[in-house]
Amino acid sequence: MKKLVRYPLFSPGKKSLKQLLFLLFLVILLVEITVMSIVIRITHNSISREAIKTSEQLLEYYSNQLENQMDFAQKDLQILASDTGLFSAISYAQPDELYYFQKLHMKTYMQKVLDLNTILDGIFVYRPTAESLPYLAVSSQYTSYNQELELKKQIETCSLSDKAGRWSFWHVDNQKYLLYLTNGIYGWYGIWIRAQSILQNFELLSPDSQSGLYICSPNGIILESQSVFPFSGTFLQSENGSISTVNKKNYIKVITSINQEDYVLAALLPESEILKEMSAIRPVIAAAILTNLLLLLLCIFCSKRFVYEPLHYLTAHMKTVKDGNLNMEIALGSHLEEFESVYSTFNEMQRSIITLKMDNYERQIQEEQIRCQFLQSQIKSHFFLNCLNIIYMLAQGKQYDLIQKLDLCMANYMRYLTHPAEKPVTISQELEHVNNYMTIQTLRYHNCVLFSCEVEDDFMNQYLLYPLMIQTFVENSMKYAIDLEADCNQISVKVSHTPDRPDLFSIFIEDSGPGFSDEMLRQFNNLETVPISGSSEIGIANVKSRIDLFYNGKGTIHFSNLMPHGARVEIRLPK
């Protein structure tokens, strides 16, 4: 009987785990914001120095990022400058086509460089000696057409070799640019960055409207600024983190170098926004700690009630399934929607496992049936060939009366072989078949074999075994233990109780032949499967395989020798 476990929430309806976590997070967030805002406002003075240090680290981080982006842009420009295929000659019908395709190819490649380096505002190629495409530039939306023309004029008139290999400031149409030049295979290549774009990104680090943002030269000259107030050129004379006074207000100075100290980034942060008086910090901190503790307890309770307990229920059921009980499904109750989905999916997987297990069991049964048919066919063909040999020998001797007798025996023999291999027979049926077989052999060897059969109790004739288990070893005795020159060859079959195992009975097949060799005894008794090297090994392997298959390890075979000579096979089978 399935046990229904319910986890009621605030209302009888099902709640989403997402909704629950959002509600819990909102409550904690509102309380945390209220408490921590008071703590931050009161304790601002105690962490002012840390704020200054953090500002310095942020400025240094930004400058490092800026320098990395500028380095990447330089490397892409170097790749462009060293590419020999951008202006390669191409055969076209008209010169205008060559000009058009060269320009299109070059602009496409330059646009790719510009797209990969978002910090760039433009890129150009200047080939003073080229007849076509002497100057080609691609710029962003922040560079106007007039600015491009002015930049082109300055490039055509200035000494480019003096500015190559480093970033330099250029004044173009009331705008300031950082421009980098390098000499390539086909001419001069350059990239530029608006100084204002650097300061705009830098403004994210200090969004206050009273802050000052600057790009300065190494000697302290302000090259570009974004500030509501001016500042003198002695900007770098005081140390980093010092206090400067501008318009009767104190500002904290933060400076860091970029691009291998060719230029520096600087910021003036208002002291009034960083430094605050601190009072009554301890009671507020204590209240914050107590509040956080209560909130933590609330989180623990909710997690246990609505997350841990359903997961524990799922884990316990999974352990039950692991122990082999696949018939118990998880009860679907008033859980959260996510757990309902997990439980339902697990039940589907469990039912799929049961189906797969049944399919696998049926497939194993089919494989066993096929294997049984194969083993039986091996044994049938083995005995049938022996019978044909006997008929052949009798026919050679023109013993037609014996052939008739043999024909009747063979008919009974073959009729017995039609019995299904997977269906057991009684001992009396198997021994009757063995007697029939020995009659055939007696006709062949002219009564030179003495065969005896003994059953300890009459009721043991009704014990069951599978066909041809005794006959296989009697046949092997006939083949390997009979000496035609000996006075008497003996083969005996005895069925008796097993003294040390009341649930088993034993079948002994003995002969007076030379017995088994030591190697054969070792192989037959120690290995699960008999190595097949001849017809006798086929029969023994078949019997051992059928015992393993039909008796599930409860049946055994033991091979031994008699003294002074002879062989013995003991088969133990469950009653």
Most confident of 26-35, 179-188, 324-333, 426-435: 426-435
**Closest to 186 (Cα-Cα) out of 307, 261, 287, 85:** 85
pTM over 0.85: no
Tokens coding 2: 């399935």
Bridge partners of 123, per DSSP, are 138, 191
Q: What single letter denotes the amino acid at residue 324?
A: G
Among the ranges given (223-237, 259-273, 471-485), the one the predictor scored with the smallest mean pLDDT = 223-237
Q: Per-residue pLDDT tens for 205-262?
A: 555 556 777 787 767 677 777 765 565 555 555 566 566 666 677 777 777 766 555 6
* pLDDT the model gives residue 491: 93
Q: What is the DSSP letter of 498?
A: -
Element housing 376 (H / E): helix 337-396
- Strands of 339-481 (E only): list them: 425-426, 449-455, 464-465
* pLDDT the model gives residue 90: 43
* Residue 247 dihedral angles phi and psi, to the nearest 5°: 55, 45
Q: Confidence band (pLDDT; 50, 70, 90) for 431?
A: very high
Within 180-308, residue ranges assigned H as helices are 195-202, 271-274, 281-303
Decide: 261 and 268 in contact? Cβ < 8 Å. no
Mean pLDDT taken over the chain: 76
What's the CA gap between 465 and 159, in Å, rounded? 110
**pLDDT over 50 at 516, yes or no:** yes
Tokens coding 142: 């922040």
Bridge partners of 56, per DSSP, are none
Q: What percent of the chain has pLDDT over 90?
A: 9
Bridge partners of 169, per DSSP, are 178
Cis peptide bond N-terminal to 514, omega within 30:
no
Q: Per-residue pLDDT tens for 295-310?
A: 767 877 777 777 777 7
Q: Per-residue pLDDT tens for 313-336?
A: 777 788 888 777 777 777 776 567
What's the CA gap between 283 and 420, in Å, rounded? 93
Most confident of 169-178, 377-386, 523-532: 169-178
Bridge partners of 500, per DSSP, are none
- Per DSSP, the three-state class of 442 is helix
**pLDDT over 70 at 285, yes or no:** no
Helix axes 281-303, 17-42, angle to 10 degrees: 170
Tokens coding 43: 């304790």
Decide: 527 and 540 in contact? Cβ < 8 Å. no
Q: Confidence band (pLDDT; 50, 70, 90) for 560?
A: very high
All domains of the chain, ordered by start, with CATH? 44-277 (3.30.450.20), 363-574 (3.30.565.10)
Helix-strand-coil split of the chain, %, nearest 5: 50, 20, 30
Decide: 101 and 88 in contact? Cβ < 8 Å. no
Among the ranges given (123-137, 374-388, 436-450, 455-469), the one the predictor scored with the smallest mean pLDDT = 374-388
* pLDDT the model gives residue 92: 44
**Which sign, positive or negative, has the C-alpha torsion 541, 542, 543, 546?**
positive
Q: Confidence band (pLDDT; 50, 70, 90) for 279?
A: very low
Tokens coding 344: 């339902």
Tokens coding 149: 């023309």
**pLDDT over 70 at 115, yes or no:** yes
* pLDDT the model gives residue 567: 94
The residue ranking higher by pLDDT, 303 or 555, is 555
Distinct helix (H) and strand (E) counts, the chain: 15, 17
Q: Confidence band (pLDDT; 50, 70, 90) for 509?
A: very high
Decide: 482 and 442 in contact? Cβ < 8 Å. no
**Which sign, positive or negative, has the C-alpha torsion 146, 148, 153, 157?**
positive
Element housing 21 (H / E): helix 17-42
Long-range contact set of residues 135-144: C-beta below 8 Å, sequence gap at least 24: 136/103, 136/106, 136/107, 136/110, 137/110, 138/107, 138/110, 138/111, 138/114, 139/114, 140/114, 142/194, 142/197, 143/192, 143/194, 144/173
Bridge partners of 426, per DSSP, are 464
CA 536 distance to own-chain centroid: 51
* pLDDT the model gives residue 44: 57
Mean pLDDT of 267-284: 62
Cα of first residue to Cα of last residue in the chain, in angstroms, is 39
